[in-house]
Structure 1
Amino acid sequence: MTDATAAITPVRRPLAGRLKAALVLFAVFALMPPLASALNDPFYVLIGTRILAYAIAAMALDLILGYGAMVSFGHAAYLGFGAYAVAILSRHGVNDLMLQILFAAGISAVFAFITGAISLRTKGVYFIMITLAFGQMAFFFFISLSAYGGDDGVGLAQRSTVFGMDLLKSDFGQYYVTLALLIALFFFCHRVVGSRFGRVLSGIRENSTRMEAIGYSPFRYQLTAFIISGCITSVAGVILANQAQFVSPAFMSWHRSGELIVMVVLGGVGTLAGPIAGAVAALMLEEWLGALSKHWKLFFGIFLVLMVLFSPRGITGLLQQLGIARKQE
């Protein structure tokens, strides 16, 4: 059996293992607000919401990076589209979260289609540079958008509503709405990866020439995955805007794209659940190390180097080495 043919055959055990790992993470997330109440420390709910939002973005990036071998260095643009969708629609009296998500996904789909249609005609470092260029174009466009604060950004008068209900008004409500979105999007991505589409995408990652030879169009599959990933990432931007009640072009800087890649690599590329754990690890380390020293980025960099040296497959690989997680076949 060739590599390309093997990639489109069902692989049940690894997918089942990832699903179990994700369910454990979701159970831990669900317990965080009660724990924060018991400790009388609402900070954990606030940072928890931020972690969940970035987990959505990291998981979306893993869909194309881990399964499609597409290293996008402009993915933070979709965070910005989600954030500005909230700012723009709320300015015009549209405060419903679902409508804002649909609007953000629509803009992201168009941008991802244009970006993907051009960048997917290249490979390697050229693909990375084109996605970075498009991300920077979006970044500077919103800097020039003076109607919404330009470089200074714009504040939000209130958080979004959910079907007319003020579920996001409290930090606890916002946390659980974000958790619900993460769970729903994870199961969607899980189904995509386990479907024929996902197996073809993995086959293209392994050997695009062979996949094309047996009748599949790599360009179409990769472009579709690229659009799906961008739309999912925009959901994280909608949540982050509501959490901060502030929107600025900083949401879509290239540094933020780099942070998303770090989360994916730190958690484990091509695992879906791994990038969620990577978002937890990266943001919690940022908080803990930042409280210890203003030079926390130096220590974080050392940590990343050690992870790459001793566990190239990230947290997922480390758990497999310790025998806690089942090795992929």
Structure 2
Amino acid sequence: MPEARTARAGGWLVPAATALVLALLPLVATPYQQDLIVKIMIFAIFALSLELLIGQTGLVSLGHAAFFGIGAYVTVLASPEYDPGSVWRLLPLAVLAAAAYAVVVGALSLRTKGVYFIMVTLAFAQMAYFVFHDTKLGGGSDGIFLNVRPELALPGVVLDFADKPVRYYAALVLLAGTYALLALVLRSRFGRALAGIRVNEQRMRAAGFPTYAYKLAAFVLAGALAGVAGFLVAVKDAAVNPELLSWHESGAVMLMVILGGIGHLRGAVIGAAAFMLLKELFSTHSLVGWLADHWQLTLGVTIILFVAFLPKGLIGLGARLRGTKR
């Protein structure tokens, strides 16, 4: 129908406009603001990867940070000690390592359902956490440092990730690519099957769909995308530590998805931005004074209020306001 075609075309307008604004922001933003935006974009990729599981497939995972941390650690461990590594090698390694662990975790955890699935994914994440925390491989609780940031060799030019603008636009390109990839996946036959599994897996199985294989594919894809975010955070901070794999990190990214609105790719991006900005606001003494020492409390109360008054997340704010006006 013409209305449907218009809606599909307009669906790309807001993401494209947002990407354009982000591309122009370095012209006016301070170095501190640029660094904060890069952090938001990294966690937006992380949130998008979890949105594929929670919002699109109906799989609530509390161990998603394992893939995020593995991608970050592999980036540092595979980097040369004194020479800059190649992004063409480090990024695929980080993604493949995260995807490989996701195959193992998914193959076993997807045989369970409900709260058992949540606990099994958490258990696997904690296993990975203690591998890096309690062994020399990950440098113990202090983590390890990236001595030299990598380079990206393109025809006629070499981009050094030691430069902030390069890291900024690399994060933007990967965020746009992740969003576009998931949007295309969700519109494909595979995406329709995931939607059917979320609504009624038993009916999809009766219709002849191999639901286990579909869920495992979605789980591995989500883990791989979390590895992309892990690569970026390792390059940005030039250091990694076991806390990247902790259940706190998994809980934080789940809050981002809930805060933005479950079931929407835009909601994951909005939720990541809102969560990181609220965290920055409540932890800054110059803005909130002594409350900055208790930012976890104020952030928690704020999120509870958002969830109470906006059950569909921030993405439903427009519809809520229109309903109030009517």
Q: Which residue of 1 aligns with 2:306?
A: 307
1:13 and 1:212 map into 2 onto residues whose CA distance is 33
Q: Deviations over 1:104-142 (max 9, x none)?
A: 121112211111111111111110000000000000001
Note closer, same or farther for the CA distance 1:271–1:18 as it changes in structure 2 (3 Å cut). farther
Which sits farther off after the overlay, 178-187 or 297-306?
Answer: 297-306
Q: Deviations over 1:124-182 (max 9, x none)?
A: 11100000000000000011231441211111112111127233221111101110011
Note closer, same or farther for the CA distance 1:276–1:189 as it changes in structure 2 (3 Å cut). same
Q: Deviations over 1:74-120 (max 9, x none)?
A: 11111111111111111466711231121112111221111111111
Deviation of 1:206 after TM superposition, in Å, equals 0.2
Deviation of 1:319 after TM superposition, in Å, equals 2.3
Deviation of 1:14 after TM superposition, in Å, equals 6.8
Which sits farther off after the overlay, 304-313 or 20-29?
Answer: 20-29
Q: Secondary structure at the match of 2:151?
A: coil
Deviation of 1:212 after TM superposition, in Å, equals 0.7
Which residue, 73, 81, 98 being the options, matches 1:84? 73
5+ long unaligned stretches in structure 1: 1-10, 325-329
1:250 matched to 2:243: yes
For the Cα contact (< 8 Å) 1:32–1:44, is it kept in 2? no
Q: Which residue of 1 aligns with 2:189?
A: 196
Matches within 5 A, 1:170-209: 170-209=163-202
The structure showing larger relative contact order (alpha-carbon pairs under 8 Å, at least 6 residues apart) is 1
The number of equivalent residue pairs is 310
Identity of matched residues, %? 38
1:138 matched to 2:137: no
1:288 matched to 2:281: yes
2:38 and 2:232 map into 1 onto residues whose CA distance is 8
Q: TM-score with structure 1 length normalisation?
A: 0.90
Deviation of 1:32 after TM superposition, in Å, equals 2.2
1:275 and 1:310 map into 2 onto residues whose CA distance is 18
1:80 and 1:254 map into 2 onto residues whose CA distance is 11
For the Cα contact (< 8 Å) 1:19–1:273, is it kept in 2? no
2:94 and 2:271 map into 1 onto residues whose CA distance is 25
5+ long unaligned stretches in structure 2: none
Q: Which residue of 1 aligns with 2:144?
A: 154
For the Cα contact (< 8 Å) 2:149–2:160, is it kept in 1? no
For the Cα contact (< 8 Å) 1:76–1:252, is it kept in 2? yes
Deviation of 1:304 after TM superposition, in Å, equals 1.0
For the Cα contact (< 8 Å) 2:194–2:215, is it kept in 1? yes
For the Cα contact (< 8 Å) 2:68–2:98, is it kept in 1? no
Which residue, 203, 228, 236 being the options, matches 2:229? 236
**Counterpart residue type for residue 309 of structure 1:** A
Deviation of 1:23 after TM superposition, in Å, equals 2.3
Matches within 5 A, 1:1-329: 18-36=11-29, 41-91=30-80, 95-163=85-153, 165-291=158-284, 292=288, 293-323=292-322
Q: Secondary structure at the match of 2:62?
A: coil
For the Cα contact (< 8 Å) 1:268–1:274, is it kept in 2? yes
Which sits farther off after the overlay, 160-169 or 302-311?
Answer: 160-169
Root-mean-square deviation over aligned CA pairs: 1.8
